[in-house]
């Protein structure tokens, strides 16, 4: 029992549980957004977006390909909504907050003639003065 308790109290399990719960709640929000806002917008632009009544029958077996089309469209719409309303803004936020460190200099100024020379040079190419190390 001690091992099981230690397993449950490890940070990974708790983090995973929180992530799953937040994911389920977020999925419900995205599904409601698509169902209540995006699908009516598609219906306003292209007509009624419900294909569930489309079927065909072979040997008394009814194939509900309209339900499949509805599911595929819902998947594509949900994927697009998540991409454009979550992934793109999050990527832009991360890119804005991530600052690149300045690059290491590759040149230095000669103390005698002030010309730009490679950082590893021992003598200046312009005035041939020795460079400090």
Please determine, for residue 49, whether its predicted confidence score (pLDDT) is greater than 70: no
Query: DSSP letters of the chain?
Result: -HHHHHHHHSHHHHHHHHHHHHHHHHHHHHHHHIIIIIHHHHHHHHS----TT--EEETTEEE-HHHHHHHHHHHHHHHHHHIIIIIHHHHHHHHHH--PPPPPP-EEE-TTT--EEETT-SB-TTT-PBPP-
Domains of the chain in start order, with CATH, are 2-97 (1.10.1200), 104-133 (no CATH)
pLDDT per residue over 64-120, tens digit each? 887 787 788 778 887 887 888 888 998 898 888 877 777 888 899 998 899 999 998
> pTM (2 decimals)?
0.50
Report the pLDDT averaged over residues 26-46.
77
């Amino acid at each position: 029992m001690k091992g099981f308790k230690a397993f449950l109290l490890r940070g990974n399990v708790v983090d995973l549980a929180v992530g799953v719960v937040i994911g389920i709640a977020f999925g419900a929000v995205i599904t409601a957004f698509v169902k209540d806002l995006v699908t009516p917008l598609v219906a306003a632009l292209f007509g009624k977006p419900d294909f569930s009544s489309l079927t065909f029958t072979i040997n008394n077996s009814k194939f509900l390909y309209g339900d499949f089309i509805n599911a595929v469209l819902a998947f594509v719409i949900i994927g697009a909504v998540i991409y454009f309303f979550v992934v793109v803004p999050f990527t832009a936020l991360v890119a804005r907050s991530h600052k690149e460190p300045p690059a290491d200099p590759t040149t230095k100024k000669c103390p005698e003639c002030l010309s730009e020379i490679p950082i590893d040079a021992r003598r200046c190419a312009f005035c041939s003065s020795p460079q400090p190390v």
